[in-house]
């Protein structure tokens, strides 16, 4: 695989639709200040649930971002993904014409696709009969829309648009796919990330599993009570280093490598050895030693099972003595499912550029079984070189991405 | 044993064996779901949810620790339903 020279891959544009801020500048401000998006759910009727707090986006206007498509033809998750892609392209300073003429990849990860629309269709079917299901809404449902709509919005002609349904790790899968596509020279530009919209189905499912926190998400805390569901989209513009330098583009970070595995060990329980193997795969792929990792953006859902398993896997790979600081931005934005690892990757890229580590908020007492420095409650300034972004999904689908600070002198070192 | 109790027990047994995908003959009052019938935490929640629906009761998830066999399940459902 390594007998042909491969291209280096960098991130040159960021698009963020998050519950702590729509727009990357707003998202950055939220991450730095440790903002919480937790509030009572308005997306659907929550009668009958003892508690119903989530991290919903309440100030999102798709027409502010989407220029060509009729927003009525897009479900909420697709509105998020197209808007985030618009932001990423604008941020990268790339003209639509340049994008149209080049071979491109659009890869968007998701957990639920347009399940918000499915909620409504099923409700109509049950209450009023199948003939009352709305045709416009039905046409929005296929999950392929999350990526295809981005290609449509920009009028891309030489594009592979793919939606990756690998659940809560899907954003990292999408970034990994883009990394390969650019590294190998298959495409010039890749718009990669993830999107999901808050929906009743997912809230109810997690509620039934007993994994929804009543008020707040407290990753790695001894009193953690589970996740808060969330929503949003993160899209990253990726291209080769040569392309970015030739354009004079701002480089947020270099994608150093990634790792994927699927253990299919259990429908919902994470497997420590498998998570550890995935992190090692990513480090090996990136050519990075564990000691070089400056912080880990954890999957960190705030459930009993995830946090202790993930922390143990981290110590398995990084050693018990001084594992890297490990933070969970889910404490702020909740679990945005397919968008989670994409928004976290954006967080990592911003951390490298801006020189800070985002905090794990709502933190009171660290669970000794987790035993990690989770940067409690307050962001810290830090000069960072290498960061690791974990995404762990149901079914044992794990995906880990390694990002590095791009520095001029690194490009001059022998490959 | 009254007919109603027998009927309830039979319904509970049906729900459990259906979810655990086992033959009704394989399960006894005291055979353990996890150790003897390959159940896991997700199946246990499925059983709990199905019982809530069938008998229109609310069962706290903390009761899962007692719902290890048919006998335990019947006790928990009885208490929740006030039988």
Helix, strand, coil shares of chain A, percent, nearest 5, are: 40, 20, 40
A51 belongs to the catalytic site:
no
Q: Which residues of A touch B40 (CB under 8 A)?
A: 266, 269
Residue B69 pLDDT: 95
Contact at CB, B61 and A269, closer than 8 angstroms: no
Rounded distance, CA A212 to CA A234, Å?
23
Over its C-alpha atoms, chain A yields an Rg (Å, rounded) of 20
pTM for the full model?
0.93
Select from A199, A233, A227 the least CA-distant residue to A332: A227
- Domain chopping of chain A, boundaries: 11-247, 257-405
A387 contacts: CB under 8 Å, gap ≥ 6: A293, A294, A295, A296, A297, A348, A351, A352, A402, A403, A404
Specify whether A335 is catalytic: yes
Where on the phi/psi map is residue A257: left (φ > 0), alpha (ψ -120 to 50), or beta? left
Contact call for B42 and A267, based on CB within 8 A? yes
Q: Which residues of chain A have pLDDT under 50?
A: 411-415
Helices then strands (H, E): number in chain A? 14, 15
> Which entry of A55, A104, A168, A199 is annotated as an active-site residue?
A168
For residue range A269-322, what is the model confidence (pLDDT) as tens digits?
A: 899 999 999 999 999 999 999 999 999 999 999 999 999 999 999 999 999 999
Any CB–CB contact under 8 A between A208 and chain B?
Answer: yes
Predicted local distance difference test score (pLDDT) of residue B36: 93
Q: Report the chain A residue with the minimal C-alpha distance to residue B62.
A: A210
Q: Give residues with Cβ within 8 angstroms of B68, minimum separation 6.
A: B32, B33, B34
Per-residue CA distances from A294 to A12, A323, A325, A382, A383 (Å): 21, 10, 7, 9, 9
- Residue B68 CB burial class (10 angstroms; 0-12, 13-18, ≥19): middle
Nearest to A308 by CA among A415, A392, A203: A392
CB contact under 8 A, A210 and B45: yes
Residues 6+ apart with CB under 8 A from A256: A285, A286, A287, A288, A386, A402, A403, A404
Of the listed A120, A192, A217, A299, which one is catalytic?
Answer: A299
* Residues A214/A364, Cβ–Cβ less than 8 Å: no
Residue A169, phi then psi, degrees to nearest 5: -110, 5
Q: Is B42 in CB contact (< 8 Å) with chain A?
A: yes
Crossing angle of helices B70-81 and B3-20, in 10° steps, is: 120
The Cα–Cα gap between A270 and A259 comes to: 16
Show Cβ contacts of residue A6 under 8 Å, excluding neighbours closer than 6 positions: A183, A184
Q: Please name the fold of domain B3-81.
A: 1.10.1200
Residue A4 is predicted with a pLDDT of 61
Secondary structure class of A126 (helix, strand, coil):
helix
For residues A241 and A10, the answer to whether their CB atoms sit within 8 Å is: yes
- Any idea what DSSP says for residue A55? B
Architecture of the domain defined by A11-247: 3-Layer(aba) Sandwich (3.40)
**Whose CA is closest to A356, among A20, A18, A28?**
A28
State whether residue B40 sits within 8 Å of chain A by CB: yes
Interface check A209 vs B, CB under 8 A: yes
Give the Cα-Cα-Cα angle A269, A197, A28 (nearest 5 degrees): 90
Which residues make beta-bridge pairs with A361? Answer: none
pLDDT at A2: 53
Give me the phi and psi of A411, to 5 degrees please.
-70, -20
Q: Which of A144, A138, A84 is nearest to A113 (CA)?
A: A144
Tell me whether residue A265 is one of the annotated catalytic residues.
no
pLDDT at residue B35 is higher than 50: yes
| Contact by Cβ (8 Å): A225, A332 | no
Q: How many CB atoms lie within 10 A of CB B53?
A: 10
Chain A residues whose beta carbon lies within 8 Å of the beta carbon of residue B61? 210
A305 CB neighbours in chain B (<8 A) are none
- A230 secondary structure, DSSP code: B
CATH superfamily of A257-405: Thiolase/Chalcone synthase (3.40.47.10)
Nearest CA in chain A to B61: A210
Going from N- to C-terminal start, the domains of chain B cover 3-81
Q: Tell whether A268 lies on the interface with B, counting CB pairs under 8 A.
A: yes
A276-311 residues labelled b (16+ CB within 10 A) or e (exposed):
bbbbbbbbebbebeeebbbbbbbbbbbbeebbbbbb
d(CA A179, CA A32): 27
Q: How far apart are the CA of B2 and the nearest CA of chain A, in angstroms?
A: 33
Nearest CA in chain A to B48: A208
**Mean pLDDT (whole number) for B17-25:** 94
Chain B within 8 Å of A2 (Cβ-Cβ)? Answer: no
Contact A210 B40 (CB under 8 A): no
Contact criterion met (CB < 8 Å) for A208 and B49: yes
Q: Do domains A11-247 and A257-405 have the same CATH topology?
A: yes
For residues A19 and A57, is the Cβ–Cβ distance under 8 A?
yes
If you measure CA to CA, which chain A residue comes closest to B52? A208
Lowest mean pLDDT among A218-222, A223-227, B29-33, B59-63: B59-63
DSSP alpha helices (H): ranges in A190-303? 200-208, 241-247, 272-286
Residue A241: CB atoms within 10 A of its CB come to 18
Distance from C-alpha of A217 to C-alpha of A228, rounded to nearest angstrom: 6
User: How close is the nearest chain B Cα to the Cα of A217, in Å?
Assistant: 20
Residue A266, chain B, CB below 8 Å: the answer is yes
Distance between the two ends of chain B, CA-based, in angstroms? 14
**Quick one: residue A23, left, alpha or beta (phi over 0 = left, psi -120 to 50 = alpha)?**
left
């Amino acid at each position: 695989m390594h007998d042909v020279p491969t291209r280096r891959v960098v991130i040159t544009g960021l698009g963020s639709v998050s519950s702590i801020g729509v727009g990357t500048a707003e998202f950055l401000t939220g991450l730095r200040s440790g903002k919480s998006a937790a509030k009572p759910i308005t997306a659907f009727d929550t009668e009958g649930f003892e508690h119903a707090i989530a991290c919903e986006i309440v100030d999102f206007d798709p027409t502010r971002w989407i220029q060509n498509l009729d927003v009525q033809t897009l479900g909420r998750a697709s509105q998020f993904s197209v808007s985030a892609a618009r932001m990423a392209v604008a941020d990268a300073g790339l003209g639509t014409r340049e994008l149209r003429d080049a071979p491109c990849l659009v890869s968007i990860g998701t957990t639920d696709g347009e399940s918000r629309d499915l909620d409504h269709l099923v409700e109509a079917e049950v209450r009023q009969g199948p003939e009352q299901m709305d045709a416009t809404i039905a046409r929005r449902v296929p999950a392929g829309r999350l990526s295809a709509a981005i290609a449509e919005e920009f009028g891309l002609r030489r594009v592979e648009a793919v939606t990756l349904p690998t659940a809560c790790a899907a954003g990292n899968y999408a970034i990994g796919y883009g990394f390969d596509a650019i590294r190998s020279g298959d495409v010039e530009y890749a718009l990669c990330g993830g999107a999901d919209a808050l929906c009743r189905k997912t809230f109810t499912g997690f509620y039934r599993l007993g994994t929804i926190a009543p008020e707040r998400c407290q990753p790695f805390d001894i009193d953690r009570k589970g996740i808060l569901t969330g929503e949003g989209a993160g899209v990253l513009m990726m291209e080769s280093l040569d392309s970015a330098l030739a354009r004079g583009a701002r480089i947020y970070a270099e994608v150093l490598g990634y790792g994927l595995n699927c253990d299919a060990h259990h429908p919902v329980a994470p497997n420590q050895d498998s998570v550890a193997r995935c992190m090692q795969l990513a480090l090996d792929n990136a050519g990075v030693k564990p000691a070089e990792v400056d912080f880990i953006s954890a999957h960190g859902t705030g459930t009993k099972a995830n946090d202790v398993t993930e922390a143990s896997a981290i110590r398995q790979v990084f050693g018990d003595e001084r594992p890297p600081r490990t933070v969970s931005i889910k404490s702020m934005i909740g679990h945005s499912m397919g968008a989670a690892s994409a928004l976290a990757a954006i967080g990592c890229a911003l951390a490298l550029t801006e020189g800070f580590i985002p905090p794990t908020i709502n933190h009171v007492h660290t669970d000794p079984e987790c035993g990690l420095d989770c940067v409690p409650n307050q962001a810290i300034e830090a000069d960072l070189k290498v960061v690791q972004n974990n995404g762990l999904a149901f079914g044992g689908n794990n995906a880990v991405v390694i990002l590095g600070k791009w520095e001029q002198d690194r490009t001059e070192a022998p490959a | 044993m009254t007919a109603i109790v027998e009927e309830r027990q039979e319904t509970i047994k049906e729900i459990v064996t259906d979810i655990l995908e086992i033959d009704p003959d394989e399960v006894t009052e005291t055979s353990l779901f996890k150790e003897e019938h390959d159940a896991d935490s997700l199946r246990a929640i499925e059983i709990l949810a199905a019982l809530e629906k069938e008998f229109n009761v609310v069962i706290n998830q903390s009761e899962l620790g007692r719902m290890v066999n048919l006998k335990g399940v019947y006790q928990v459902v009885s208490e929740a339903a006030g039988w």
